[in-house]
Structure 1
């Protein structure tokens, strides 16, 4: 049997442990799923985002408390864990923004070819992860 005439597998009852681990999702699929996940993450962490903004702009005393949360922590949450949560917010915002611009561009220009979808998805992933690494280095005091 040649490659073209080979019968493709037919899944009727998908087992999440055996079938989904062998499925290869294309880059556009990963970007789409991560776009939804980043939106959900920002929604869930919205109270923290509002608190961060309010604490940083209310007064000098509250700004000192804001910077102390990153340095030594807040309550039982250590500073490094607080920074990781903020880093996840940074990634969620950047990925959601870049993927959203990608989706809007594809909707406006009707550029929905398979090649463009793959290349724009890779650019989206590289940009969002790259910018997150740069801002994460700044957040953790590497420069």
Structure 2
């Protein structure tokens, strides 16, 4: 019979959290320490998401994402607060909105989506030719 050593719990309780990624089919679940920073949790979520091969592909830049807690409020969590301070276990991970500055008036103009990628894909799909022998 094998004996397993139990790790001593240093620094607080452990929580099973569920993070739903906007646009993905289901949540990512993993265990965190309640003293972990939100930035660290975002990093772990992105790594778990990529390891599982989920779509859409998000990348690994944790600075490009915001973590929300739907039950607490409508504002994003600060990357420097601890995940346990929220008092929740369900979260939503979203990309930060990208915007461009208009040089003349200084107001922000939201970028258009990746319509060029879709147009290219459709164009290539329609131009596929099946060779006959």
Q: Which has the higher strand share?
A: 2
Please state which band the TM-score falls in when normalised by the shorter chain. under 0.3
TM-score (norm. length: structure 2) = 0.23
Q: Which structure is higher in RCO with an 8 Å CA cutoff and minimum separation 6?
A: 1
TM-score (norm. length: structure 1) = 0.22
